[in-house]
Structure 1
Amino acid sequence: IRSFIASLTLCLLLLTSCVTWAEDINIATFSLDTLQVDSAIAVMTPIYKRIGYDMSVIRFPGKRSLVEANSGTTGGELVRIAAIEDSYPNLVRIPYAIGSLRVMAMTQSGQHAINERSSMIDKRIGILRGVKILDTLTQGIKREVVNSIDSLFEILLNGRVDAILFSEPDMVKYITDHDLAERVTMGEQAILEMPLYHFVHKSSSDITKKLSREMKMMKESGELELLVESAHSYKHCTSNVVSN
C-alpha cells in the first residue's frame, strides 16, 4: 500500500509539474478608446502570456490611471512616454519601446497647416485632458482642454480653436469614420514624435525582470519589431477591459 501511495504521489507531482497556471495582472490606462491604446494592448497581452500572466486593462479617466498605477492599485501603466518616470517614481519603465507617439496638428481646410511647435505660438490650440505630453507641449500657449475626441473635433469645426493636437492614427481614423476629409487638414509632419513604453509598479520587481528579459530576447530576434508593426496596423484588437 505504501508503495502504491508513493507511486500515486509521484504521478500526481509529475502531472501537476506539466501544468502551468497563468496569474492575473491588472494594468491601468486612460479611459479614451484610442488606437494607440488598442495597439499597446495588442503588444503587451501576448508578451505577458509568454511570462505566465493574463493581462486585463482597467481604464481610468485622465491622469488617474497614472495615479492608480503609481500607488500600486494596479500592477502598472499600459503605455506612456519615458518622461512620466520623473513625476511617478514608483513606476519602472521596461526599456523596450512598444510603439511611438506621433503628435499631429489638425486645422480646418483652407487654413495654413501647422508642422512645428513655433507655428502654434499665436494660435488657439485644442487638446485632450489627461495626456501629459500634450499638456507639456502647449504650456504657454492659448488652449482649450476637452474630455473626448468628439469634443476635440467639435471645437475645431465650430471655430473655437485654430488647431487641435492628437495622435496620428486616431486622427486618421476619426476623419475616415466621420467623412471629414474635405473639412480638415492634417500637418505634413509630426509636431512631436516619441517612443512609448510599458511601466510596472516597483513592488513587482520579479515581473519587471521577466518582462525585460523576454522583451530583450524578442528584440534581438526581431519578434518585438514584428509584433509592434502588426499591432500598429490600426486594426481593433480584443482584450479584457474594465471601465471605472
Structure 2
Amino acid sequence: MNELVINNIIINRFIIHALRIPYFICCCLLASVSQAQKTITLNTAFAPPISNNTQTGYADLILTEAFRRIGYKLETIHIPAERALINANKGIDDGDLLRIAGLQKKYPNLIQVPEKIINQDFILFTKNHRGFKVNGWESVKYHSVGIITGWKILEKKFSQFGNQIEIIKSENADQLFTLLEKDRVDFICYTHWSGLELLRKKGLKNITALNAPLASPDFFTYLNKKHSAIAIELSAAIKEMKVDGSIQKKYDKIFNPLISPIRNKKN
C-alpha cells in the first residue's frame, strides 16, 4: 500500500469522525430541549402543609406523582398570590398549583384541570375575640380582618360589605399572623390546615382558630393554555390516584398530625 493510499485512508477517517461530532452535539441538544419540554413549572402562594420549598407538601406530592404518571417533571416556585395568577396567565410560569374554581373567567389564558385536589375551609383566627360566633361573611361586619392579597374569594366576599368591614391586606401568611399578634386586626381569614400548621410552627398559643368555616371551596390546578393538551390527561391521573388510594395515603400522612376539633374533612 503506497503512501498516497494511506494518506487518503487517514483523511477519510478524519472526515468521518469530524462529521460525527456535530451529529453527536445535535443529538445532545435535542435531548436537552426534549427534557426541558418535559418539565412543568407551577407557581403557588400556599404555605405548609399544602406546599413547601422542598416540594413535600400535600399538593406538591399529589401533583408531582400525577405529572410523573403522564411523563412530566414538576417544579414549584413560591411567589405572592396576586403575582402568581398574573405570571401563570401570561405564561411566565406554566400554571398555578392550587386555586378555587372559575378563575379562567378573569384570567382567560388559564385552564382549570377538572379533577379537584383538595377541599379547604376558610376560617377566622383571632387573638382577642375568642368567644366570637361566626355566622357567615356578614358576621364579620364592623370588624377589621386581614387577608392575603390575591386570594380572590376573600377579596370578593369581604369587599361586598364596603366600609362596614375594614380589610387589611398582606403579601403572605407570616405577615398576616403578625397583624393579629400585634393587634392590628380583629381577625384574619386563612385556610384551616395552613393556619394550624403555622400556629404549631410558631408556637402561637395566644391565637385561636374559630370553629365555623366561612367557606369550604374545592381547589384545582390551573395550566396556562399553552399546555391545554395535557389538562385532561393530568385530570385522569389525579382521579386514578384517588381510586388507587395514593391520595388518601398522602392525606393521612400530612394532615392527621394536625387534626383538630374544627373539622376533619377528607376528599
Say whether the fold is shared (TM-score over 0.5).
Answer: yes
CA distance in 2, matches of 1:86, 1:232: 32
Residue 24 of structure 1 corresponds to which residue in structure 2? 39
CA distance in 1, matches of 2:67, 2:38: 10
Residue in structure 2 matching 1:233, options 255, 258, 266: 255
Equivalent position SS for 2:116: coil
CA distance in 2, matches of 1:217, 1:118: 40
Equivalent position SS for 1:204: helix
Equivalent position SS for 1:138: helix
Larger Rg: 2
Residue 208 of structure 2 corresponds to which residue in structure 1? 185
Counterpart of 1:91 in structure 2: which amino acid? L
Matched, 1:128 2:145: no
TM-score, with structure 1 as normaliser: 0.77
Structure 1 residues 100-179: aligned runs within 5 Å: 100-109=119-128, 111-115=130-134, 116-139=136-159, 140=162, 141-179=165-203
CA distance in 1, matches of 2:101, 2:247: 19
CA distance in 1, matches of 2:95, 2:179: 33
Any unmatched runs of 5+ in structure 1? 1-20, 236-244
By how many angstroms is 1:234 displaced? 7.1
CA distance in 2, matches of 1:222, 1:172: 29
Equivalent position SS for 1:192: coil
CA distance in 2, matches of 1:45, 1:35: 15
Instruction: Give the total of aligned pairs.
Output: 213
Structure 1 residues 209-220: aligned runs within 5 Å: 209-219=232-242
Matched, 1:39 2:58: yes
Per-residue Cα deviation, 1:212-239 (whole angstroms, up to 9, x for no partner): 33234344x243642562464278xxxx
Distance 1:199 1:172, change over 3 A: same
Equivalent position SS for 2:183: coil
By how many angstroms is 1:88 displaced? 0.9
Residue 4 of structure 2 corresponds to which residue in structure 1? none
More helix by share: 2
Distance 1:177 1:119, change over 3 A: same
Per-residue Cα deviation, 1:145-183 (whole angstroms, up to 9, x for no partner): 1223232222223222111111111221222223322x2
By how many angstroms is 1:184 displaced? 2.0
CA distance in 1, matches of 2:240, 2:202: 41
By how many angstroms is 1:190 displaced? 1.0
| Large movers: runs of 4+ above 6 Å | none
Per-residue Cα deviation, 1:174-218 (whole angstroms, up to 9, x for no partner): 22223322x222111211111100111222232113213323434
Residue 206 of structure 1 corresponds to which residue in structure 2? 229
CA distance in 2, matches of 1:174, 1:58: 19
Residue 99 of structure 1 corresponds to which residue in structure 2? 118
CA distance in 2, matches of 1:200, 1:206: 10
Cα RMSD (Å) of the superposition?
A: 2.5
Counterpart of 2:155 in structure 1: which amino acid? D
TM-score, with structure 2 as normaliser: 0.71
Per-residue Cα deviation, 1:74-121 (whole angstroms, up to 9, x for no partner): 222111000312111111111111112211101125543342312101
Equivalent position SS for 2:217: strand
Counterpart of 2:182 in structure 1: which amino acid? N
Instruction: Select the structure with the greater relative contact order (CA < 8 A; seq sep ≥ 6).
Output: 1
Residue 59 of structure 1 corresponds to which residue in structure 2? 78
User: Mean alpha-carbon deviation: is it higher for 197-206 or for 46-55?
Assistant: 197-206
CA distance in 2, matches of 1:215, 1:26: 17
Any unmatched runs of 5+ in structure 2? 1-34, 52-56, 258-267
